[in-house]
Structure 1
Amino acid sequence: MRLIAMFLVVPIIEIALFIQVGGLIGLWPTLALVLLSAVAGVAIMRSQGARAGMQIQRSLAEMRDPSRPLAHGAMIIAAGLLLLLPGFFSDALGLLLLIPAVRTMLMAQLARRVRASRVQMHAATMRRDPHRPPYDKGVIDGEFVVADEDDRRPPVDLPLDTDDTGPSRPGRGSGWTRH
């Protein structure tokens, strides 16, 4: 019932605000404000959404709970969508969602209603490189670099070994490989 009331009340509020603002500043400035807020909404969704995505990835990489950056990111995208919608009421709600303190307060209100019963992570469910086999306990997968090679070798980018008969013949060093 609330959802139906919202879909009826919000457009009436938006139309009333269009009439009031249009009467105060005129038609063209009102339309310019609507277009400007739509452009700002798209810009906010692009920049702040990407930033929120990086924060979510950082949380996952550091094995921290990603729910807070995920909620902030979702609210920032909602703010951008509200700014994208034509209307001053939706723009005001979108601008409010851009304020970090408002987002934090809204998250606290939502957190009171949502309870997680159990969160569990297993190493077996973590994503593995499909090209590497699973190892038993005690096996560490790694890579190495030989640091004590002889530094007197010729550089790798030597020209082809040529003589009077033409390019290098089979069996002779080409200069491009190390023998």
Structure 2
Amino acid sequence: MFWLIVSVIIVIPVIELWGLITVGSWIGAFPTILLVIATGVIGGYLARREGIHTYRLFMIQLRNGELPGDTLLDGACVLVGGVFLLTPGFFTDIIGFLLLFPYSRGIIKLFLKRWFNKKIRNGNFIWNRRR
């Protein structure tokens, strides 16, 4: 697990730098910088908007006595998407936008639910219960 984290920390910035250099050679340095800033600003706005919407839905579900499982997963996706959009680079921006738009987030949530259920069934996911 340690080497996976280290490789992700090294590989993602290298891919992002390659993407920035490639796009910079196509459209120029100044437009590339403006594009990175624009995606960061738009991403911050979208993350804030979707986060507020998710928080309100969470509070409504709690008030009605419902379990907010899907809403918590929405909140996690919005948080991760916002972090990806605030990091400079185009590949992380694509992932961030996919996590912020409700339709694509729904598809990603479906895969996450299946993954969680598989981990729970195989015993790889540990539940700590208070007694």
- TM-score, with normalisation over the residues of structure 1? 0.61
Q: Secondary structure at the match of 2:65?
A: coil
Q: Per-residue deviation at 1:117?
A: 5.7
In 2, Cα distance between equivalents of 1:23 and 1:117: 50
Q: Which has the higher contact order (CA 8 A, sep 6+)?
A: 2
In 1, Cα distance between equivalents of 2:126 and 2:6: 29
In 2, Cα distance between equivalents of 1:7 and 1:109: 26
Alignment of 1:9-158 (within 5 A): 9-98=11-100, 99-112=104-117, 113-114=119-120
Question: For each residue in 1:55-114, what CA deviation from the matched residue of structure 2 results, as whole angstroms up to 9, or x when unmatched?
Answer: 111111111111210110111121111111101111011112122333323322432224
In 1, Cα distance between equivalents of 2:69 and 2:126: 11
In 1, Cα distance between equivalents of 2:53 and 2:129: 26
Q: Per-residue deviation at 1:119?
A: 7.9
Q: Secondary structure at the match of 2:43?
A: helix
Q: Secondary structure at the match of 1:64?
A: coil
Q: Secondary structure at the match of 2:67?
A: coil
Q: Which has the larger radius of gyration?
A: 1
Q: Which amino acid aligns with 2:86?
A: L
Q: Give the number of equivalent residue pairs.
A: 120
Of the three residues 7, 10, 33, the one matched with 1:8 is 10
Partner of 1:163: none
Q: Percent identity?
A: 28
Range with bigger deviation, 88-97 or 48-57: 88-97
Unaligned runs of 5+ in 1: 121-179
Change in CA separation of 1:118 and 1:22 when aligned onto 2, cut-off 3 Å: closer
Question: For each residue in 1:110-142, what CA deviation from the matched residue of structure 2 results, as whole angstroms up to 9, or x when unmatched?
Answer: 32224686989xxxxxxxxxxxxxxxxxxxxxx
Q: Secondary structure at the match of 2:9?
A: helix
Q: Which amino acid aligns with 1:91?
A: D
Q: Secondary structure at the match of 1:86?
A: coil
